[in-house]
A and B are shown apart, each in its own frame.
Chain A
Amino acid sequence: MTKLSRRQFCMTGLALAGAAPLAAALPATAQQLKGGTLRVGVLSELANFDPQQLSTVNFHVMKNLYDSLIEYTPDGKPLPSLATEWTIAPDKKSVSVKLRDGVTFHSGTPFKSDAVLATLQKGSDPKRGKHVFSTMAIVKDWSAPDERTVVINFKAPAPERQILDLLQFLIPIDPKGIDTVETVPAGTGPYTLVNRAVGQSLTLKANPKYWREKQPIVQDLVFTVFSEDAAASAALESGAIDIVYNGGSRSAVRLKGAGYQVFSGPGKLVQVFRINSTRGPFRNKSFRQAFNYLVDRESMLRVGYAGMGQVVALPWAPASPAFDAAYTKTYAYDLEKAKKLLAASGLSPAEMKNWKLLVYGSEEAAVALSQIMQGTLAKVGIPIELTVLQGAEYVTAQLAGDFDATFGAIGNVQKFPSRVSTNTIYRTVQNPVLKDPHPHPAYVEAIAKVDAAAGGDAEVKAAYDNLNRVLVDEAFAVPTNSYDVGLIVASEKIGGITLDMDNLFVARTIGFK
């Protein structure tokens, strides 16, 4: 029997086709876990139930109310979910997806190809597609030859990883509920909504018609919203809740020391010093490049994230195919190198300090990082002021690009590299910070090369290397460190934790020991 490579595995779509639902992927102990009511503390109130508006504030509910077409293992291998098979055409210009039979939405509607088509339609609409829209950029059109098959055509040959990322990102929505999905969940997931008390709690119960065998394990799932990390930790320690999800790194380190289980998934975020290269001294390339050496990454990781994460000079998590650790060493904190670049910029001291650092006051780590940056800049003779904004005021300024520089995390850093351009500062078109035409055409070209690298491994690696070189050369965004999002801190009686590729909270495999 021929041994299949990972690539063949994906290409032929034999990925455990029709295999039973993911019981095999469960931890061995999961079979002995007991049900009951799982009480989870979260630090954010979810924005809405639309899976196409996936963000950290609704990470705790999406995988419990919905299923995606495919899933990834923590190390990036694709697994069937609502799609049982997928076949990428030899010219890489289309993918044919076979849909699982016997699945129903919470409303009772059978899951068929019309749901995938409706989901694709929504995702391709710039107004309704929200976060999925940019991922749909490669998609030309789609069709449904029958009720169990969907074919997606691409505008140009697409790299395999990019196609898989798209399938993983597509979460079918019940066509009947697609227009009201922000307020009423419309998925096929293991839990259904019982009650939501805005700002306080969210109660789900097990979906009796769920398609995965013996899942979910716990019958009731109660999320309690805490405004303070310390309060959530105290609730865990007092036994009022069983799990804290998406709490702070510092608390996680402390609770781990106290004997609690801490789970950190592969879906990191990367903190980035975002530079508006259309303003003030940042128009000067040498000045920007100096920041590659001015960022004290080790201190930032230690103070901002209790050391949980990794210093990085590129916007990739270690799980990303474009990750290159050599850059971290080359662009380590070095004031002398920074001073040389500052001198080479030809800017006067008055010009160098003619900017302000925008700070997200609601995020403790961002405040600390900004102060470290301010301290470092003072050492090289650039005294700057911090402008601290809270909540929506900051988000508005950041999304509108109304800043000189600011710290802000980016996601999708473990996926196909061009997915980085879903983050505002890295957008290649309609970039709200850098505007159109993009002031760094070399970067736009490098992203296009990555997207077009559908050939052999050498071509793909060359495209990634080129992108990395351009990123540090243009220096309009200087990454500092990766860090954990969606950390799970659980009491010792909890078992069956499943780590999701994006660190979403997966409750269906969790039970009591």
Chain B
Amino acid sequence: MSETLAAFGTLLRRLFARRGAALSLIFLGLVALTAIFAGLLPLDPLAQSVADSLKPPSAENWFGTDELGRDILARVVYGARTSLVTAFGAVFIAALIGVPIGLVAGFYGDWRDSILMRCIDVLLALPNILFAMALIAVLGRSQGAALIAVGIAGIPGFARIARAQVMALRQLDFVMAVRGFGGRPSYIMFRTILPNALSPLVVQAIVLASIAILLEAALAFLGVGVPPPTPSWGEMLRTGKSYLYEAPSYAVLPGLVLTLTILSFDTIGRALTALLDHDETDASGATVGGRR
């Protein structure tokens, strides 16, 4: 455990050494903290005051007010909750289902691989947004439905990466050794191979998180995301575009926060990929197994 924490600390330090990744981590940390502790802030995303509608940014309302006189900053902060919960929930669902599928398919490589990967191919052939909209049409419009829809759309990514990793690792010495000692297939897959395949999966999780936030916003923008009055960045963009002339801050500021959040996830993902690729290149002589 302490070894894992130490490795995580090292990784974090190396990420902070990169300016872009450092800025992204700070921004995402800020967004996450305000989202988690939003209840402690003097902000009410639902309080209406129609007489104060579409006010520009001021000392009282830093981001201005929307068409119902609600504080846009409060809605951006609480909207972060919607986005982050969707992102982490979707990653959890996608990883929980996608990784075991990839492990089984890659480990056995027989008819199980064929069947599982054809199913994944079918899922992959469906455009994410269409698939999500169809699922929401069945499940109804709610944050849970959006989360499940985005999560299922993320399954193929995890499955394919996990499968590729297993196929690369399953014939290596340390895996063969465990097999030789009579290790059960499930033990080999989850205790031997998976820990060594985590790096690309972590990168995939970060990539999916940014896709999930964007997809959730897109669904809300199309009017099938979380129902009002729950704040959502996509919903704010959707409504705000109608008031671009009267209150540009209404759409622009939530849009800016959304863009920066996705950019931050993307920057961290790229930095992480670069760091891990560098590690693998360094360790190429000893193979991946050499990192054990």
Which residues from B are CB-within-8-Å of A31?
none
Q: Is the CB of A372 within 8 A of B48?
A: yes
Q: With A303-B67, A361-B223 in contact, is A230–B50 under 8 Å at CB?
A: no
Contact bitstring B54-84, A, C-beta under 8 A = 1, else 0: 0000000000000110000000000000000
Is A368 interfacial (CB 8 A cutoff)?
yes
Q: With A302-B50, A303-B53, A303-B68 in contact, is A387–B227 under 8 Å at CB?
A: yes
Bound complex: CA A137 to CA B206 (Å): 65
Which residues from A are CB-within-8-Å of B112?
none
Residue of A nearest to B227 (CB): A388
**A residues 344-359 with Cβ under 8 Å of B?**
359
Residue of B nearest to A389 (CB): B141
Which residues from B are CB-within-8-Å of A388?
141, 223, 227-228
Is A364 interfacial (CB 8 A cutoff)?
yes
Nearest CB of chain A from residue B68's CB, rounded to whole Å: 6
Is A250 interfacial (CB 8 A cutoff)?
yes
Q: With A254-B245, A368-B68, A371-B68 in contact, is A303–B228 under 8 Å at CB?
A: no
Residue of A nearest to B133 (CB): A390
Query: How many of B's residues come within 8 Å of A, CB to CB?
Result: 20
Q: Is the CB of A390 within 8 A of B223?
A: yes
Segment among B5-13, B21-29, B236-244 that sits at the interface with chain A: B236-244
Bound complex: CA A367 to CA B48 (Å): 14
Bound complex: CA A254 to CA B247 (Å): 13
Q: With A368-B67, A386-B227, A390-B223 in contact, is A375–B46 under 8 Å at CB?
A: yes
Q: Is the interface of A mostly helix, strand, loop or mixed?
A: helix
Bound complex: CA A248 to CA B227 (Å): 23
Nearest CB of chain A from residue B146's CB, rounded to whole Å: 13
Bound complex: CA A372 to CA B46 (Å): 11
Q: Is the CB of B68 within 8 A of A372?
A: yes
Nearest CB of chain A from residue B53's CB, rounded to whole Å: 6
Which residues from A are CB-within-8-Å of B242?
229-230, 248, 250, 364
Which residues from B are CB-within-8-Å of A361?
141, 223-224
Contact bitstring B238-262, A, C-beta under 8 A = 1, else 0: 0101111110000000000000000
Contact bitstring A378-390, B, C-beta under 8 A = 1, else 0: 1000000111111
Question: Contact check: which of A230, A303, A372 meets B241 at CB < 8 Å?
Answer: A230
Bound complex: CA A390 to CA B140 (Å): 11
Is A374 interfacial (CB 8 A cutoff)?
yes
Is A362 interfacial (CB 8 A cutoff)?
yes
Q: Is the CB of A367 within 8 A of B228?
A: yes
Bound complex: CA A299 to CA B49 (Å): 9
Bound complex: CA A356 to CA B246 (Å): 32
Bound complex: CA A211 to CA B237 (Å): 50
**B residues 197-241 with Cβ under 8 Å of A?**
223-224, 227-229, 239, 241
Q: Is the CB of B224 within 8 A of A390?
A: yes
**B residues 247-280 with Cβ under 8 Å of A?**
none
Nearest CB of chain B from residue A368's CB, rounded to whole Å: 6
Q: Is the CB of B53 within 8 A of A371?
A: no
Q: Is the CB of B244 within 8 A of A371?
A: no
Is A242 interfacial (CB 8 A cutoff)?
no
Q: Is the CB of A375 within 8 A of B227?
A: no
Is A71 interfacial (CB 8 A cutoff)?
no
Is A67 interfacial (CB 8 A cutoff)?
no
Contact bitstring A288-307, B, C-beta under 8 A = 1, else 0: 00000000100100110000
Which residues from B are CB-within-8-Å of A385?
227
Selected A-B contacts with CB under 8 Å, 11 pairs: A229-B242, A230-B242, A250-B246, A299-B50, A359-B228, A370-B228, A375-B48, A386-B227, A386-B228, A387-B227, A390-B224
6 closest A-B pairs by CB: A299-B50, A375-B48, A388-B227, A361-B223, A303-B67, A371-B229
Given A388-B141, A388-B223, A393-B137, 17 further pairs, Cβ under 8 A: A248-B242, A254-B246, A302-B50, A303-B67, A359-B228, A361-B223, A367-B228, A368-B67, A371-B68, A372-B50, A374-B229, A375-B46, A375-B68, A387-B227, A388-B228, A389-B141, A390-B224
Q: Which residues of B contact A (CB under 8 A)?
A: 46, 48, 50, 53, 67-68, 137, 141, 223-224, 227-229, 239, 241-246
